[in-house]
Structure 1
Amino acid sequence: MTGAKTLAMMATLALAMPASGREKPAALPGYTMPQTATFDMKAAHGGVYRIFLSFPKAAPPEGGYPVLYVLDGNALFASFAETRRMTEWSPGDKAIVVGVGYPTDEAYDVRRIDDFTGAPTTSGAYAKFAKSKSGGWDRFRDFLTGELRTEIGKRYKINPDRQSLFGHSLGGLFALHVLYTRPDAFHAIIAASPSIFWHEALTLKEERDFVGRLRAGSVPKASRLLVVAGDREEAILERWDAEDFVRRMAPLSAFGLRTQSEIFAGEGHMTVPVRAVPTTLRFAINWP
């Protein structure tokens, strides 16, 4: 038997052996993303959040780093962190990304329903979540704009006037709530596929109240706003509502609300936030 045939037979026999007869390979170490860190933080209201940080090597610009807060950090932080790291090779301000998530290895946690909404859902599309705890969005907003922002400011030199917020789906709904109730809390707000129809009547009332105040001149400063969605949203209302919402917001530029929008071709609900990463970073970091 030739050497080549012998080797081929040995390989065949090795593949035919049961797994229990082969030596188990050693466990490999997990991958750690460069220029990142994470810590758990207990809020004053008792909830514990997992905070993910992505930071530049470069010293902060004059006035401090811009900061982008990304909701659903367990699911979305990695995409934003690696893209942010790549942007360090380009000219322009360096920024910090703060992912806000939960102490779990799962992509999403049911607590997001409570944190991102103002009441139980009234939509049949979300009927299976009707009994989930909800209505905590003011409490979460205060944590995000108060305790967490203070903690990040202790760790890095940040620019208080260049804070931005990204939220997707229910996180996008929450981002709009922040715009309506604390219009000057962020320099920029990015709402991706916002679930406006979660509790449509409540959300539209907040919108009308905000628009009334804006037109009356009682909102001296408002975040600039970016709304994105996909043309293949599985719940088509997330596209229709985003498009209708932008049309309603566009005339308000005369009252100080700057709004941009984009519909991503070929993207569905769960791929929109990944597609939105570079667009979001540019929108959040650009100044003024």
Structure 2
Amino acid sequence: MKDMATRSTLKPLLLGACLLALSPLPALATDPAPVAQVAMPDTETWDIQAAHGQTYRIFVSRPQGEAPKDGYPVLYVLDGNAMFAGFAEARRIQSVYRDGQDKMIVVGIGYPGDTPYDPRRMGDFTAPIATPALKALYKEFPAGGRDQFVAFLIDQLRPEIAKRYNIHPVRQSLYGHSLGGLFALHMLYSRPGAFHTIIAASPSIWWDNQAIVAEEPAFRARLEKEPALGRGTRLLMLTGEREETEVTVTDSAALAKRLEPLSAYGLRSSYKVLDGETHVTVPARSVTMVLRAVMQWP
């Protein structure tokens, strides 16, 4: 019985060896074929110099075929070098279903070079640092150029996108993660109605001793006076369950509570914690729900 069991076990192995022996020998190794960088379909990239002198690399993912009658919705994605590819391919794959969910334009706002996170982002997404300890910690990094970046985004880049593509004048959305999420909240407070949908993923509300919180009262007062601005804006906040900095979750949850009463003035806001996700994995997990939020209308 033991020999029979052994033969039964060896039989498939021996058969595989025989088939391998009958197979043609692999070709001898030759010089590898030349390689090229991967090109993403339905995308293009170009550089633009801002009025304040800095150069930005713009990545665009656009659908094939005719634009909708009112133009394409647009999603602007901060940290384009790191984030654009995920959003672009997720948009493109939606075309498989032919239900129109791919009919948007994704614009990644990045920087020349291949670094996922350029140090310039700190300057673009933050106000001048007021906390001495934080200022000392980041003394080698640029900070405080937020107003210049706002001007570039609103007054220069958006008109350029409108010239190049057939876009919807109102269905414009903004996505930012971490310090980019902090910037997205600043855009909500300082330019309500500028974007129909704002997505703040893992926003760094803690930055500079929670300086962003000081912007809330003026925003609230403005919505109370002009409810139409609230009705023209949606906010989606996202954090990861396993954020390395716990205050990212607690600060976002507290902000979500503070914003709830503003629904009386038309602001639609929601907050989701993504189970199992860390700070750096939140963007990948958020892609699909962000694209769905962008396509919601009215």
Q: Give the TM-score normalised by the residue count of structure 2.
A: 0.85
Deviation, 1:159, is 0.6
* Structure 2 residue aligned with 1:98: 107
- After TM superposition, give the deviation of residue 24 of structure 1 in Å: 4.9
- Pick aligned residue for 1:33 from 40, 46, 50: 40
Kindly indicate whether residue 259 of structure 2 is the aligned counterpart of residue 252 of structure 1.
no
Question: Counterpart in 2 of 1:43?
Answer: 50
Matching residue's letter, 2:100 = G
Q: 1:244 to 1:73 in 2, by over 3 A?
A: same
Q: Quick check: 1:123–1:199 contact (8 Å CA) kept in 2?
A: no
1:31, distance to aligned residue in structure 2 (A)? 1.0
Q: Are positions 1:220 and 2:228 aligned together?
A: yes
Change (3 A) 1:5 1:89: closer
Residue of 85, 96, 100 corresponding to 1:78:
85
> Match for residue 240 of structure 1?
250
Match of 2:63 in 1: 56
Structure 1 residues 276, 157: closer, same or farther in 2, change over 3 A? same
Change (3 A) 1:197 1:122: farther
What displacement does 1:146 show?
1.6
Change in 2 beyond 3 A, CA 1:56/1:196: same
Contact 1:169/1:194 (<8 A) preserved: yes
In the other structure, the counterpart of 1:87 is: 94
| Structure 2 unaligned blocks of 5 or more | 1-18
C-alpha separation in 2, matches of 1:268 and 1:110 = 21
Contact 1:121–1:127 (CA under 8 A) maintained in structure 2: no
Conserved? CA contact 2:173–2:197, under 8 Å:
yes
Shift of 1:214: 1.9
Counterpart of 2:229 in 1: which secondary structure? coil
**Residue 193 of structure 1: CA displacement?**
0.2
Query: Which deviates further from its counterpart, 117-126 or 58-67?
Result: 117-126
Tell me, in whole angstroms, the C-alpha distance in 1 between the residues paired with 2:139 and 2:295: 37
Distance 1:263 1:126 in 2: 30
User: Are 2:134 and 2:208, in contact at CA under 8 Å, matched by a contact in 1?
Assistant: no
State the match for 1:129 in structure 2. Answer: 138
1:157-206 per-residue CA deviation (whole Å, 9 max, x = no partner) reads 11111000000000000000011110011010000000011123421111
Q: Do structure 1's residue 193 and structure 2's residue 202 form an aligned pair? A: yes
Counterpart-to-counterpart distance in 2, 1:251 and 1:209: 15
SS where residue 251 of structure 1 aligns? helix
Q: Which amino acid aligns with 2:229?
A: K
Q: CA RMSD in A?
A: 2.4
Count of matched residue pairs: 274
- Residue 147 of structure 1: aligned partner: 156
If you compute each CA radius of gyration, which structure gives the higher value, 1 or 2? Answer: 2
- TM-score where L is the length of structure 1: 0.88
Do the aligned partners of 2:223 and 2:229 also contact (CA within 8 Å) in 1?
Answer: no
8 Å CA contact retained: 1:122, 1:198: no
Which of 173, 180, 183 does residue 192 from structure 2 map onto?
183
Answer yes or no: is the 8 Å Cα contact 2:172–2:197 preserved in 1.
yes
Which shows bigger deviation, 79-88 or 89-98?
89-98
Aligned partners of 1:120 and 1:131 also within 8 Å: no
CA distance in 1, matches of 2:185, 2:179: 10
Residues 208-229 of structure 1: CA deviation (Å, up to 9, x unaligned): 22122223x2453132100001
Structure 1 pair 168–123 and aligned structure 2 pair: CA distance change class (3 A) = farther
Contact 2:88 2:106 in 1 (8 A): yes
In 2, the alpha carbon distance for the partners of 1:84 and 1:200 equals 37
What is the deviation of 1:122?
A: 3.4
Equivalent residue number for residue 169 of structure 1:
178
Percent identity between matched residues is 50
Tell me what 1:265 maps to.
275
Give the counterpart letter for 1:35 in structure 2: D
Contact 2:81/2:116 (8 A) holds in 1 = yes
Aligned partners of 1:123, 1:263: CA distance in 2, in Å?
32
Q: Work out the CA distance in 2 between the residues paired with 1:234 and 1:70.
A: 23
Classify 1:246/1:123 alpha carbon distance in 2 versus 1 (closer, same or farther; 3 Å): farther
In structure 1, C-alpha distance between the alignment counterparts of 2:252 and 2:218, rounded to whole Å: 19
Deviations 1:110-142 (A, max 9, x none): 000000001227396896424422111111111
